[in-house]
Structures are given as structure tokens and as C-alpha cells.
Amino acid sequence: MSEMQSVYYPQSEIHTTLIPVTTGCPYNRCAFCSMYKADTYGEVPLLEMEHELMNGERYTERVFLTGADPLSVGFEKMIRILNLVRKYFPYCGCVASYASVRSLQKYSVHELTELHDAGLRLLYVGFETGSDETLKLMKKGHTAAAAVRQGQKLNEAKLPFCAIVMYGIAGEGKGEENARLTAKLLNQFVPAKIITMNLTVFALTELAEMVKEGRFTEATTREKLQELKTLITELHMKKPVEIDTTHTTNLIKMTGRLPEDAEKLLDQIDARLAG
Ligand code: SF4
């Protein structure tokens, strides 16, 4: 791919070897998202990937497959990619990538298990919210029920994943309800980690238009912090889970393990609310 394309990866993968699998986003319709607006969706040819791997460091231990949603290439190609990683990076213990709820719907539990066995060890899934009304407003292209099922499928396949959710996404006056619905969604599966983001209105997005036309009003900082507090309070996962609010968009940066650190995290939010 000769054109310049945007490349994004989670901040925890900053030191990971990046292997491009797709460019752009196969969906590219989420109202709040500005990431791949200027990019064309495309699959990187296997030969190009092989060339990249062939010239990489044989002792690479971790790989991040880049693209908004690499699983969009389908099961057969994913297996071939993972086999190539194994061939050229035999010491690699973890291949990670983003994955959308929409793409996961096309994979069976058996296929996800096979991907895990072939080396795929961590997915970052953008669930955003458990509110169907908000998912529709933000044009996420999936329902809360579909999202729950994908989380459960990943658990059944024993494929670890980080669940990305976004406070403020429901807009002014809806933070409390959004927190409860998002916690309800998350409580139905067990992610390796919950990563929070704070809704940010980026220029040139459909959301920016909605704000301009008065169809969406942003929640205040106070409401967003209160939403984060309710989310943490309402999380009752079947197993202990990490929570990470250190993404750059967040209003407060914290990490902890739930349930044991819940009180400490809530105290930090209270201190911020009182400040
Ligand atoms: S949020 Fe993800 S799926 Fe939605 S448009 Fe952006 S990159 Fe694509």
C-alpha cells in the first residue's frame, strides 16, 4: 500500500511491533469517530505482510495487527496471517488487534478458539455503551444484545479481550442511565480489562454536526465524572477485572482492579468532584 494511511494502536501497545493488515475502517460510520475519515478501506496483501515479517526481528515477542478492524478480513485470512507471524517470529507469545462487534458476529466460537490457538491472544473491542438508544444515535452498527453475545463468545473461546467503553456518549442528562446500562452489558461477560474513554467531539464528524444543530448536547464534566462513578459502582463481574482510565481523553487517570480497588477509585473521583 503506497498511499499514506492513518495508523492507530492502543497506548499499551506503544512498544509492540506493528504489522499492517487493513487500512481505513470497513464501516467508517460511527458518528463520533474521526480516525479513518480520510482513509480508504483496503486489505494489505499477504505477500506484503510476509515481506514485512521476513524483514522483522526474529526474536519479536509481541505483535499488534493494525487497522480499525483486522478481523474484517475473515477467518481464512486471519489464520494465514497468524501462521506467517508464527513462521517468522517463532518467539512471539502474543498477537493483538482491534476487533469490532460487527466482525466478531461473523466468527463462530470454534473459529475464535482456532485463532487463539494460532496465536491471537488479545483483542481490543469497542463496545462503547450498553444503551441501544445511544448505539443507534451514534450509528455503532450493533445492538447491546449482539455485543453481549460477542463478549460471551470470546469468553467461551478463552480469547482475552479489553472492553472499551465511553462515558459521556449518551449526552447531557443521560449519564446515569448510560452507566447503568453499560455496567449491565459488561456484567454479562468477563473482559481482561475495561478501558474507559471520555466522549470527545472531534471536528468534521457527524457528532460535531449534531452538536452544531442542537441535536446533541455534551454532558458536563461533573455529569461525566458522576457517570464514571456509577459505572464502577454498578460493575459486578463474575471474576476480578482491571479497569484503566488512563487513555488521553479521560477526565481522571486511574488504574485498579475490581472489586478490590473500587472504593479507592470512587474516592479519587469524589476528590475530583469536590475540587
Ligand atoms: S469507531 Fe471504530 S468502527 Fe466506528 S468508524 Fe471509528 S474505527 Fe470504524
pLDDT in tens, the chain (275 residues): 445 678 999 999 999 999 999 999 999 999 999 999 889 999 999 999 999 999 999 999 999 999 999 999 999 999 999 999 999 999 999 999 999 999 999 999 999 999 999 999 999 999 999 999 999 999 999 999 999 999 999 999 999 999 999 999 999 999 999 999 999 999 999 999 999 999 999 999 999 999 999 999 999 999 999 999 999 999 999 999 999 999 999 999 999 999 999 999 999 999 999 98
The pLDDT value recorded for residue 2 is 45
Q: How many domains does the chain divide into?
A: 1
DSSP bridge partners of 123: 97, 161
> What CATH number does residue 67 fall under?
3.20.20.70
Q: Which residue's C-alpha comes closest to atom 2 of ligand 1?
A: 68
Whether residue 6 is contained in a domain is answered as: no
pLDDT in the model for residue 86: 98
The pLDDT of residue 38 is 87
Is the C-beta atom of 30 inside 6 A of ligand 1? Answer: yes
Q: Which domain holds residue 53?
A: 11-274
Q: Which pLDDT value is given to residue 131?
A: 98
Residue 1 resides in a domain: no
Does any ligand 1 atom lie closer than 6 A to the CB of residue 100? yes
Query: Is 100 among the domain residues?
Result: yes
CA of 37 to the centre of ligand 1 (A): 9
The per-residue pLDDT for 3 is 58
224 within some domain = yes
Residue 82 counted as domain residue: yes
Q: How many helices (H) and strands (E) does the chain have?
A: 10, 10
In ligand 1, which atom is closest to the CA atom of 25? 8
Evaluate: CB of 36 within 6 angstroms of ligand 1. Answer: yes
Distance CA 248, CA 115 (A): 31
Residue closest via CA to ligand 1's atom 8 equals 28
The pLDDT, as a whole number, for residue 24 is: 93
Ligand 1 atom nearest 128 alpha carbon: 1
Sheet containing 62-66, strands listed edge to edge, beginning at the edge strand earlier in sequence: 17-20, 62-66, 94-99, 120-128, 161-167, 193-198, 241-244, 255-258
CB of 6 sitting under 6 A from ligand 1? no
68 part of a folded domain: yes
CA 69 / ligand 1 centre spacing (Å): 8
